């Protein structure tokens, strides 16, 4: 739980410093490249995550490795902040949340839509139109298949889940039966 809070805090802090779409694209690409580079070498990670190595030594190693890449000052500074605070392990999760928080900042909400079978283009467009109408702003829909739904849809926005599936209906019915 604490880790999720930290991931959100660092991601939100980073997003608040971004000035525009171009800077976001550069930052996202550079952070992804750095993550691939660092997390692709197990021995390097072992050194960087070691509690026995001083923070300033870790920073020196990171700066030495990243000096060969042409990174923006913001990307380099963010990586160094993570290393200084022994939070480098959060980087992959931060990158995953980055587009979501960036879209929220711009007033665009992201929904996770789960269905048993893939929706066709018309259904996707109708759902997007309906959610944009409800939100009164643009939305982004991420679709996935969930064979456990049985039928219908499960739509998630942040911590809010709209369950309009047969599984959800059966769960509600079960609760009512248990209550008596």
Phi, psi of 122 (to 5 degrees): -65, -45
Output the CA torsion sign for 79, 82, 86, 87.
negative
Q: What is the pLDDT of residues 138-162, one digit of tens each?
A: 888 989 998 887 777 888 887 788 8
Maximum C-alpha span of the chain: 68
What is the Cα–Cα distance from 45 to 77, expressed in whole angstroms?
A: 19
Query: What's the topology of domain 2-103?
Result: Peroxidase; domain 1 (1.10.520)
What is the Cα–Cα distance from 11 to 19, expressed in whole angstroms?
A: 15
Q: What is the pLDDT of residues 65-96, one digit of tens each?
A: 898 888 999 999 999 999 999 999 999 999 99
Sheet holding 139-145, edge to edge: 139-145, 109-115, 152-157, 160-165
For the chain, give every domain's residue range.
Answer: 2-103, 108-179
Q: Can you give the pTM of this predicted structure?
A: 0.71
- What's the pLDDT at 168? 64
- What's the pLDDT at 147? 85
Q: What is the pLDDT of residues 10-58, one digit of tens each?
A: 999 999 999 999 999 999 999 999 999 999 989 988 988 988 989 899 9
């Amino acid at each position: 739980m604490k880790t999720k809070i930290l991931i959100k805090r660092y991601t939100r802090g980073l997003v608040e410093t971004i000035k525009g779409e171009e800077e976001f694209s550069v930052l996202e690409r550079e952070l992804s490249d750095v993550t691939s580079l660092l997390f692709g070498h197990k021995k390097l990670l072992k050194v960087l995550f070691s509690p026995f190595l001083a923070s300033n030594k870790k920073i020196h190693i990171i700066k030495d490795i990243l000096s060969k890449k042409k990174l923006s000052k913001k990307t380099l500074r963010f990586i160094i902040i993570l290393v200084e605070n022994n939070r480098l392990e959060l980087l992959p999760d931060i990158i995953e949340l980055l587009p979501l928080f960036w879209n929220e900042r711009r007033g665009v909400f992201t929904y996770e839509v789960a269905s048993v079978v893939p929706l066709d283009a018309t259904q996707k467009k109708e759902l997007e139109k309906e959610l944009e109408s409800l939100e009164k702003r643009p939305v982004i829909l991420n679709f996935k298949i969930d064979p456990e739904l049985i039928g219908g849809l499960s739509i998630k926005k942040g911590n809010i889940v709209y369950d309009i599936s047969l599984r959800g209906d059966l769960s509600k019915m079960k609760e009512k039966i248990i209550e008596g």
